[in-house]
Structure 1
Amino acid sequence: MKDHLVKAVADGVRVHAAITTNLVNEAVSRHECYPVAAAALGRTMTGALLMAANLKNKECTIKFNGNGPLGSVVADANPEGFVRGYIANPHVNLPLNEKGKLDVGGGVGQGILSVTRFTGLKDPITGSCEIVSGEIAEDLTNYLYTSEQTPSSVGLGVLVNPDLKVAAAGGFILQLLPDTTEETLTKLENNLAKIRPVSTMVKDGLDARGIIAKLLQGFDKVDYLTTTDLAFKCQCSKERIEDVLISLNEHDLKSLVDDGHAEVCCHFCGEKYQFNKDELTAIYNVSQKFKDNKANN
């Protein structure tokens, strides 16, 4: 099944649901994640895609900065369906939690969840709150309510096989609209109480529309609005890395030139960029010209 995201609305509620198995698999492979890290990164990337689907966003960045062994977990996504992400410590092994599940909460720990929305205005909008469980979905639900005053329910799931391949991944965000009635709220609560885990539904073959149908069971009319293809895509390039190298201080850049070789690895996708002595010398010369021009002005 191709990765995709579907938007829908019904009486007093809107839902975004996504299937993200392939893109999570790519991220897990690129970062060589162990199971707990794979679940944390996959859930965060899926959550970022669901939150970025709001048309007001140009991009959405989610960052879990916890004190657990996984370290920071970050994902960038945009409304076009592209996402990238990284995790500070992908090689973390933890015993299963008391429910017999991957202990993502223990891996993330306590700390701060921040969400930055790039809306096209001069400055991005960043909100934050304390991490309540580290299980990602519960934290995003809490963030949307406390920081953006949007009553929501977030469900995220990543199923990791023993061979470290992702068998199923996906999620949903369900949000109440201003005209939500008590009858609608009761229906939603009943449906959420009996719905199966997201990873189970995806593993059993449900697509995003199928997940939405489960969430909105009993509603007279569900309007399915748009379907967007999803993919892992990083924004890095050799040209962007050159810009980063140019910004280094003179001593560090001169040291690279003297070494005659540099390898720069993108922490979002793991892509490695090689620079030989001639390339580094050219970058150094550009850096010096830039600094001279700045000093003269």
Structure 2
Amino acid sequence: MQDHLVKATVPGVRAFAAVTTELVEEARRRHDCFPVAAAALGRTMTAALLLSANLKTDEYVTIRLAGDGPLGGVIADAHAQGTVRGYVRNPHVDLPLAGGKLPVGQAVGRGHIHVTRFTGMKQPFTGTAELVSGEIGDDVANYLLVSEQTPSTVALGVLVNTDYSVGAAGGIVVQALPGAEDTVLAKVEANLAALPPVSELVRGGADAASMLLKVFTGLEATVFEQARLAFNCQCSTERVEAMLVSLGRDELADMAAEGKAEVRCHFCGEKYDITGERLHELLAAVPDKH
């Protein structure tokens, strides 16, 4: 099943669901994540995609988990058109299962979640809230309530196979809107309480629309057209070269003297090898301030 996201509404409630198995597996492979790191990164990337679903074209959202756990932090960028990238600072963290589950909360630790929305405004908006569990779903829900005053339920799941590959991944966000009727909210809450874990639903073949229909069982839901999702990074040789130039003439000259430069993108793991000849060309284009 190709990764995708769907929105659905009933009067007073909106919900988004996503299947993200392929893109989480690509991120795991690119960063060589061990299981608990793959789960934390996958949940964060999925959450970022769900939060970006209401943005306009060319807008994007960044989620940064700054916890004191061994992962050392998790970052994900998601664009409104359905692309996402992300990384975990320490991908080789290996912790024993806790009650048969990956101990994501322990790996993330306590600290803060920072969410930045890059919209058409001159300055991006950043909100911050405490990490309440490190499990990421609870933390995103708490952020939405505390920082954006939007009561939400957030369910995120990543199933990692014994060979470390990602077997299933996805997420659901359900939000109450102003004026929602109590009877509708009660019905949705009961449906959510009866819902199996998202990763189990995805592993069983459920798509995003069917997950949303479970959330809205017994209610007349409007389901919107699905959008495709994919792992994608904006890094390029041109951007890497521009970054090298920005370091200044002296540092660029040192790299040129060494005969090469190797740059690896944090977000996707792509490696860029810049030759000595190209470094000299970049150096020649930088004005000498002396």
Identity percentage over the alignment?
54
Counterpart AA for 2:235: C
Deviation readout 1:116-153 (Å, 9 max, x if unpaired): 00111111000001111110100000000000000000
Q: Give the length in aligned residue pairs.
A: 289
TM-superposed CA distance for 1:162, in Å, is 0.8
| TM-score, normalising length: structure 1 | 0.95
Q: How far apart are 1:251 and its partner, in Å?
A: 3.1
Kindly provide the amino acid, as one letter, of the partner of residue 195 in structure 1. L
- Counterparts of 1:72 and 1:281 in 2: how far apart (Å)? 36
- The reply on whether 1:54 has 2:54 as its aligned counterpart is yes
- Distance across 1 between alignment mates of 2:124 and 2:225: 26
> How far does the alpha carbon of each residue in 1:220-248 deviate from its partner, in whole angstroms, 9 at most, with x for none?
x1101231000000000000000100011
Counterpart residue identity of residue 70, structure 1: L
Following TM superposition, where does structure 1 have runs of at least 4 consecutive aligned residues deviating by more than 3 angstroms? Answer: none
RMSD between aligned alpha carbons?
1.2
Deviation at 1:185, TM superposition (A): 1.4
Equivalent residues in 2 for 1:9-158, closer than 5 Å? 9-56=9-56, 58-97=59-98, 99-158=99-158
Q: Is 1:229 the equivalent of 2:228?
A: yes
- Work out the CA distance in 2 between the residues paired with 1:116 and 1:269: 20
1:39 maps to a residue whose letter is A
Gaps of 5+ in 1: none
Task: Determine if contact 1:112/1:131 at 8 Å carries over to the other structure.
Answer: yes
Letter in 1 for 2:214: K
* Cα separation, 1, equivalents of 2:245 and 2:112: 32
Q: Distance in 2 between matches of 1:157 and 1:110?
A: 20
Q: Does 1:3 align with 2:7?
A: no
Give TM-score scaled by structure 2 length: 0.97
- Secondary structure at the residue paired with 1:200? helix
Cα deviation per residue 1:45-99 (whole Å; 9 max; x = unaligned)? 00000000013471000000111110110000011000000110000001112x3
**Residues in 1 aligned to 2:249 and 2:2: alpha-carbon distance in whole angstroms:** 47
1:162 aligns with 2:162: yes
Gaps of 5+ in 2: none
Equivalent residue number for residue 185 of structure 1: 185
CA distance in 1, matches of 2:110, 2:181: 36
| Secondary structure, counterpart of 1:83 in structure 2 | strand
- 1:159 and 1:70 mapped to 2: Cα distance? 18
Q: Distance in 1 between the 2:104 and 2:283 partners?
A: 44
> Residues of 1 paired with 2:224 and 2:203: CA distance?
24
